[in-house]
Amino acid sequence: MNIPAELKYTKDHEWVKIDGDIATVGITDFAQGELGDIVYVEVDTLDETLDREAIFGTVEAVKTVSDLFSPLSGEIVEFNESLEDEPEQVNTDPYGAGWMVKIKLSDSSEIDDLLSAEAYKEIIGG
Amino acid sequence: MKNTALTTTHELLGAKMVPFAGYNMPVSYEGVNAEHETVRNGVGVFDVSHMGEFLISGPNALDLIQRVTSNDASKLTIGRAQYSCLPNETGGIVDDLIVYRIKDDQYLLVVNASNIDKDWAHIAAYNKEFNADIRNISEGYSLLAIQGPKAVEAMQSLTSIDLSTIKFYHFEVADFAGIDHVIISATGYTGSGGFEIYCKNEEVKQIWDKVFEAGAEFGIKPIGLAARDTLRLEMGYCLYGNDIDDTTSPFEAGLGWITKFTKDFVNSEALEKEKKHGPERKLVAFELNERGIPRHGYDIVDGNGKTIGTVTSGTMSPSMGTGIGLGYVLTVFSEYGSKIQIQIRKKAIPATVVKLPFYKAK
């Protein structure tokens, strides 16, 4: 199970990369494995400001659909449009080409509530 | 949780295992889309040993079967199989099944794993009148489905009979992979041709291994339950518990073709009336006209947003790349070409009622 040490995580199986006041968000390797073949990622909250844990989109796999929860409060400033044509990047490269959105943070103190790689590993029983 | 005789084999192959109908079953190995494609264009093997098998024997075997099933089993000659259902007393369906005629007075009923106990109780209750010899042999028997356009060629070296001569819904009891008296049945749940192999639990590992040896040069692969579902849905085959259940009638479900009034059977009088009047709702196949994936339980709505039905099965078709599904709608919306909408979360996505199968073999 790939859980990069430099990223932060949520119990909803999302990873977060902080760069100044911008957070890049995707789903973890564990999550993509559980979902199976992903057929599209729908994000209809671009330019909206969301509270932490609000639904920012959905990810559809062949067998199931799952909501995506904003790990931090802020504005959805970018959606990874390459997922429109190649949603399978979430399966093949969840921490790279499979990133989903960028959020402009409205309260950077929330970052402290995110999970470390170690803590996330414990949650998934790794 | 029960295991099949091959559970360890699946785990060693790296399968993702899930609980299904009380069994620990492989849902996927390399991924549902790749496995789906393997069956559509090559050959793949499913362990579906969770399915139930009842052996019905004796002079009254046929009479019992005629009473509990909707299709006309008197048409079966030895070596033929028939798709059928068990109607209940209140207009619904206890289960769908396949009836095999093994000998003059011996039949094999193959039922859904999730319904084994319910079916057994139902059939046993009716058998009080017939006193046929009925045996639930589910726990002792395994079932492999070897499916795909290359199945015949890939498996020919494993048997002395000519596989290409077994017609659809026919079977042979013959040698296979070094085991005698195996049922080789030209049936399946994929629409891509192939066989289902019934054998004893203690024989199935040898058969599995030899199937993979013989199939290696044809690119044979193990296939999980996830692809089984997308494959059957592209053909529009009903799944019990989704598309048919204790509350859906055979006529609503489009199973009039296996409901024959050439004999009396459970609830046949009421069903004959329903056939005459036509059902109020019907199971239809639909294709989404825009991007989206229908799922079990989603509402089907008309142009004004009024609910006209419910989705019973849905997926993104791996073969066609579009959202497809089955669902019940009011009969007035059931014509081919009818425009309906599927309520997917906040959006109503337009869809068209289409003729089955969704997938047509090349």
What's the pLDDT score for residue A1? 82
Residue B361 belongs to some domain of the structure: no
Contact between B48 and B232 (Cβ < 8 Å):
no
Domain match, B66 and B193 both: no
Q: In what order do the strands lie in the sheet with A55-61?
A: A38-42, A55-61, A65-69
Residue B312 belongs to some domain of the structure: yes
Residue B282 belongs to some domain of the structure: yes
Which secondary structure element, helix H or strand E, spans residue B195, and what is its range? Answer: strand B194-200
Domain match, B42 and B150 both: yes
Determine the Cα–Cα distance for residues B9 and B28; give it in Å rounded to an integer. 13
Query: Which residue in chain A is spatially nearest to B18 when comparing CA positions?
Result: A34
3-state secondary structure of B149: coil
CA B187 to mean position of chain CA atoms: 10
Determine the Cα–Cα distance for residues B295 and B316; give it in Å rounded to an integer. 9
Domain match, B30 and B151 both: yes
Of B161, B186, B194, B177, the C-alpha closest to B79 is B186
Domain match, B79 and B19 both: no
Residue numbers of A between 79 and 98 with CB closer than 8 Å to B: 91
What's the pLDDT score for residue B280? 95
Mean pLDDT of chain B: 97
Domain match, B81 and B123 both: yes
pLDDT > 80? residue B362: no
Residue B162 belongs to some domain of the structure: yes
pLDDT > 80? residue B168: yes
Please give the residue range of the domain that contains residue B132.
52-136
* pLDDT tens figures, B31-66: 999 999 999 999 999 999 999 999 999 999 999 999
Domain match, B278 and B290 both: yes
pLDDT > 80? residue B182: yes
pLDDT > 90? residue B229: yes
Max intra-chain CA distance, chain A: 37
Determine the Cα–Cα distance for residues B231 and B349; give it in Å rounded to an integer. 23
> What ipTM was reported for this prediction?
0.79
Domain match, B345 and B259 both: yes
pLDDT > 90? residue B361: no
Query: Which residue in chain A is spatially nearest to B321 when comparing CA positions?
Result: A39
Say which residues have a Cβ less than 8 Å from residue B154's Cβ, sequence separation at least 6.
B43, B146, B214, B215, B217, B218, B220
Domain match, B80 and B210 both: no
Q: Find the mean pLDDT for residues B106-131.
A: 98
Query: Which chain A residues are Cβ-neighbours of B225 within 8 angstroms?
Result: none
Domain match, B184 and B315 both: no
Query: Which residue in chain A is spatially nearest to B295 when comparing CA positions?
Result: A64
What does DSSP say about strands B44-47 and B221-222: parallel, antiparallel, or unpaired? parallel
Domain boundary among B203, B234, B265: B234
Which secondary structure element, helix H or strand E, spans residue B325, and what is its range? Answer: strand B323-330
CA distances from A120 to A9, A12, B74 (A): 6, 10, 62
Domain CATH number, residue B171:
3.30.1360.120
Contact between chains at B32 and A37 (C-beta distance less than 8 A): yes
Domain CATH number, residue B322:
2.40.30.110
Measure the CA dihedral A85/A87/A90/A96, to 10°.
10
Contact between chains at A62 and B315 (C-beta distance less than 8 A): yes
| Percent with pLDDT over 90 in chain B | 98
Q: Which comes out higher in pLDDT, residue B362 or B306?
A: B306
Query: Which chain B residues are Cβ-neighbours of A35 within 8 angstroms?
Result: none
Residue B92 belongs to some domain of the structure: yes
Residue B360 belongs to some domain of the structure: no
How many Cβ atoms from other residues are within 10 Å of residue B11's Cβ?
14
Instruction: Name the residue facing A62 among B230, B291, B345 (closest C-beta).
Output: B230
Secondary structure (H, E, C), chain A? CCCCCCCEECCCCEEEEEECCEEEEEECHHHHHHHCCEEEEECCCCCCEECCCCEEEEEEECCCEEEEECCCCEEEEEECCHHHHCCCHHHHCCCCCCCCEEEEECCHHHHHHCECHHHHHHHCCC
Instruction: Name the residue facing A62 among B32, B291, B345 (closest C-beta).
Output: B32
Domain match, B44 and B156 both: yes
How many Cβ atoms from other residues are within 10 Å of residue B272's Cβ?
11
Contact between B110 and B50 (Cβ < 8 Å):
no
Domain match, B247 and B230 both: no
Contact status of A111 with chain B (Cβ, < 8 Å)? no
Contact between chains at A63 and B226 (C-beta distance less than 8 A): yes
Contact between A94 and A28 (Cβ < 8 Å):
yes
* Domain count along chain B: 3
Contact between B123 and B63 (Cβ < 8 Å):
no
Residue B22 belongs to some domain of the structure: yes
Q: Which comes out higher in pLDDT, residue A125 or B4?
A: B4
CA atoms within 13 A of residue B136's CA, in its CB half-sphere: 17
Domain match, B349 and B298 both: yes
Q: Which two tokens stand for residue A33?
A: 């494995």
pLDDT > 80? residue B232: yes
Contact between A21 and A105 (Cβ < 8 Å):
yes
What's the pLDDT score for residue A126? 62
What's the pLDDT score for residue B260? 97
Contact status of A66 with chain B (Cβ, < 8 Å)? no
What's the pLDDT score for residue A19? 96
pLDDT > 70? residue B74: yes
Residue B362 belongs to some domain of the structure: no
| Percent with pLDDT over 70 in chain B | 100
Domain CATH number, residue B73:
3.30.70.1400
Q: Which two tokens stand for residue B350?
A: 């337009």
* pLDDT tens figures, B11-31: 999 999 999 999 999 999 999
Say which residues have a Cβ less than 8 Å from residue A95's Cβ, sequence separation at least 6.
A2, A4, A7, A15, A26, A28, A29
Determine the Cα–Cα distance for residues A84 and B335; give it in Å rounded to an integer. 33
Domain boundary among B101, B121, B136: B136
Which segments in chain A show pLDDT lower than 70? 126
Query: Which chain A residues are Cβ-neighbours of B345 within 8 angstroms?
Result: 58
Contact between A44 and A100 (Cβ < 8 Å):
no
Measure the CA dihedral B109/B114/B117/B120, to 10°.
-20
* pLDDT tens figures, B296-308: 999 999 999 999 9
pTM over 0.90: yes
* DSSP-H helix ranges across chain B: 7-12, 32-41, 61-68, 116-130, 151-155, 201-215, 225-235, 268-277
Domain boundary among B136, B156, B191: B136
